[in-house]
Amino acid sequence: MARQPPLATESVIGEGDIAHAQEAAWIEVIRKMEEVYSDLIQYEIELEEKNTALEEAQRFITSVLSSVSDILVVCDPKGRIQQVNLAFLRLTDMAEIDLVGRPLADFLAEDVGTLCHWLEAGQGGDREVRFVHGGNGATDPVALTCATLLDHRGLPAGTVLTGRPVGELRRAYEALKQAQAQLVQQEKMASLGRLIAGVAHELNNPISFIVGNVHVLTKYRERLEAYLGAIHHGVSEPEREVLRRTLRIDALIADLPALIAGTQEGAQRVADIVKSLKRLSFSHGAAAEAVNLSEIAENAVHWVVKGRNLPDLPRLDLPDVLLAKGQAGQLHQVLVNLVENALDAVDGRAQGVSLLGHRDGDSVVLDVRDDGPGIAPQNLGKVFEPFFTTKPVGQGTGLGLWISYGIARDHGGELLASNRPEGGACLRLRLPAG
Ligand SMILES: Nc1ncnc2c1ncn2[C@@H]1O[C@H](COP(=O)(O)OP(=O)(O)OP(=O)(O)O)[C@@H](O)[C@H]1O
Ligand SMILES: [Mg+2]
């Protein structure tokens, strides 16, 4: 059946619908545009905020980089400067514009080859270099550390160099070294002064004794001369007897042996002191070398035992080879002193003394032990002082341990005195291993 043409009323409703639909579409478009516009504004605000934060971060990083006192240089993979900090500009007295984009090698005062290779190889580590200063002259040396700069993918993108000028530090170190050397020298002079004062004091006693005795002997000689002169001139016996009484010749003769013995003792004391002083070794010329401490100790023991005519030897518990760094002559002297002391402490009973040696890390240790009375606790701190002795006159000057201590210290080692829990003393010599 054929479709009837629409009625007039039907066609009016249809047009109105279309117009309505078009209007709705427009409204939708405008709404969308407004939405997009508002999104855009929102994005712009966010972008501005991010930009401000970025600028803030940039300012912060720049101010941090400017305030660090270490220098900082960033180079591209070809060694061209990309960025430097204020410390570097101050060090080199140059402007950033003159540096950026130019090869770092152009600003090195020396060692160019090495540093370039180092940079190219992208190796980490330290180098000491000098930069040119304002185009002429060179800066103080700088201890430079090199690290690889990585991009966001973790691939090498250049080099970061950080460094610290060490000139100031080095000058301070030199001054310190000088001051230390001066102190050591002063300490040596002071210790020499103490020694001389000690020697003077020690010598004074026997010498004044000798002088006094010689004075008395001179008077005696005058009286004897007068007495013998009269006899030689043939005085009568009564006159001689008078003279004998008035010149007190009998008392004089009785006094002579004591006077002579006293003088001899004084002279012996002076001789002892001089002999001890001879043990002082001021020779620091010989270089330290690897020496077998066991062998030196054995020799020293034999030396002392022979010198004292002892029937036995001390007990030796030493490895065949115990290498120490030092001067054999001086170490022999130390060991002789220690063995002498140990034997003194046990009244020459060699079996009461033992020597033990071993290696301990990068040093060697040698103990001289005895089973004598030990060192009185109040004397433990004094035994290394010059002229400290508890031995009677003629048996000790108190220099042995003082000399030995100095030798151990000069060798970079130490000498320690202690008492053993089981009784007796232990003197421990520690030296750098050879
Ligand atoms: N093994 C030891 N046991 C007990 N006391 C000791 C021992 N070694 C040292 N001493 C004490 O330390 C003092 C100082 O010793 P040091 O070797 O310096 O001098 P000295 O033996 O008295 O005289 P010198 O060695 O000059 O002949 C000794 O007089 C003694 O009192
Ligand atoms: Mg001694």
Report phi then psi at 109, rounded to 5. Answer: -80, -20
- Residue 256 placed within a domain: yes
- The band of 3, judged by pLDDT with boundaries at 50, 70 and 90, is very low
CA distances 305 to 298, 314, 331, 391, Å, are: 11, 9, 17, 20
The answer to whether residues 210 and 312 belong to one domain is no
Residue 155 lies in a domain: yes
Same domain, 185 and 160: no
The token pair at 247 is 């010149």
Are residue 263 and residue 349 in the same domain, yes or no? Answer: no
Cα(162)–Cα(175) distance, integer angstroms:
26
Ligand 1 atom showing the smallest separation from residue 427 Cα: 1
313 SS3 class: coil
Total count of domains within the chain: 3
- CA triplet 414, 418, 421: central angle to 5 degrees? 145
Going along 277-333, which residue ranges are E strands? Answer: 289-292, 315-317, 323-326
In a domain, 2, yes or no: no
Residue 351 has pLDDT above 50, yes or no: yes
For residue range 75-109, list pLDDT tens digits in order. Answer: 998 889 999 999 999 999 999 999 999 998 888 88
Question: Ligand 1 centre from 383 Cα, in Å?
Answer: 7
The neighbour count for residue 262, using CB atoms within 10 Å, is: 16
* Nearest Cα residue to 301 out of 282, 277, 317, 289: 317
pLDDT attached to residue 279: 62
The CATH number covering residue 339 comes to: 3.30.565.10
Q: For 68-136, where are the alpha helices, taking DSSP H only?
A: 86-92, 96-99, 112-121
Q: Ligand 1 in contact with 391 (CB < 6 A)? A: yes
Q: Based on the domain organization, do 400 and 294 belong to the same domain?
A: yes
Question: How far, in Å, is the centroid of ligand 1 from the Cα of 386?
Answer: 11
- Whether residue 369 contacts residue 297, with contact meaning beta carbons closer than 8 Å, is answered with no
386 pLDDT higher than 90: no
Residue 289's DSSP bridge partners are 326
Distance 258 CA to ligand 2 centre (A): 29
Q: Please list, in sequence order, all residues whose beta carbon lies within 8 angstroms of the beta carbon of residue 50, skipping any fewer than 6 positions away.
A: none
Is residue 306 classed as helix, strand or coil in its secondary structure?
helix
Angstrom distance (rounded) from CA 373 to CA 2: 146
- Whether 91 and 161 map to the same domain: the answer is yes
Question: Which residue, of 248, 278, 308, is where some domain finishes?
Answer: 278
Domain of 189 in residue numbering reads as: 172-278
Between strands 81-84 and 363-370, the pairing is unpaired
Domain presence at residue 62: no
Atom index in ligand 1 nearest the CA of residue 272 equals 27
**pLDDT > 60? residue 5:** no
Assess whether the C-beta atom of 367 lies below 6 angstroms from ligand 1. no
Binned at pLDDT 50, 70 and 90, residue 9 comes out as: very low
pLDDT tens, residue by residue, 171-212: 888 898 898 788 777 766 776 777 787 788 778 888 998 999
Atom of ligand 1 nearest to the CA of 401: 18
Residue 322 has pLDDT above 80, yes or no: yes
Which of 144, 165, 186 is the last residue in one of the domains? 165
In a domain, 15, yes or no: no
Same domain, 320 and 413: yes
pLDDT of residue 196: 80
Q: What is the pLDDT of residue 7?
A: 47
Per-residue confidence at 118, pLDDT binned at 50, 70, 90?
low
Do residue 302 and residue 423 come from a single domain? yes
**130 occurs within a structural domain:** yes
| Residue 327 falls inside a structural domain | yes
Q: Give the H or E element holding residue 328.
A: helix 328-345
Out of 279, 378, 391, mutate this one to test ligand 1's pocket (max ligand atoms within 8 Å of CB): namely 391
Cα 401 to ligand 1 centre (Å): 7
Q: What are phi and psi of 311, to 5 degrees?
A: -75, -30
pLDDT grade for 1, boundaries at 50, 70 and 90:
very low
44 domain-assigned:
no
This prediction has a pTM of 0.50
Q: How far apart are CA 228 and CA 133, in angstroms?
A: 99
Q: Answer with the one of 165, 186, 210 that is the final residue of a domain.
A: 165
Residue 74's CATH number: 3.30.450.20
Same domain, 293 and 367: yes
Q: Stretch 55-59: mean pLDDT, rounded?
A: 93
Would the CB of 383 count as within 6 Å of ligand 1? yes
The torsion angles phi and psi of 327, rounded to 5 degrees, stand at -105, 120
104 and 121 co-located in one domain = yes
Same-domain pairing of 293 and 427: yes
What are the phi and psi torsion angles at 305 (to 5°)? Answer: -60, -40
Q: Is 333 in the pocket of ligand 1 (CB under 6 A)?
A: no
Q: How much of the chain, in percent, has pLDDT values that exceed 90?
A: 54
Q: What is the mean pLDDT of residues 15-40?
A: 90
Query: How many whole angstroms from 346 Cα to the centroid of ligand 2?
Result: 13
Q: Judge if 422 and 294 occupy the same domain.
A: yes
Distance CA(88)–CA(107), nearest Å, equals 11
Query: Which of 328, 334, 395 is CA-nearest to residue 367?
Result: 334
pLDDT at site 129: 85
Q: What is the distance in A from the centroid of ligand 2 to the CA of 211? A: 29
Q: Are residues 103 and 151 in the same domain?
A: yes
Tokens coding 335: 């060991």
Atom number in ligand 1 closest to CA 398: 19
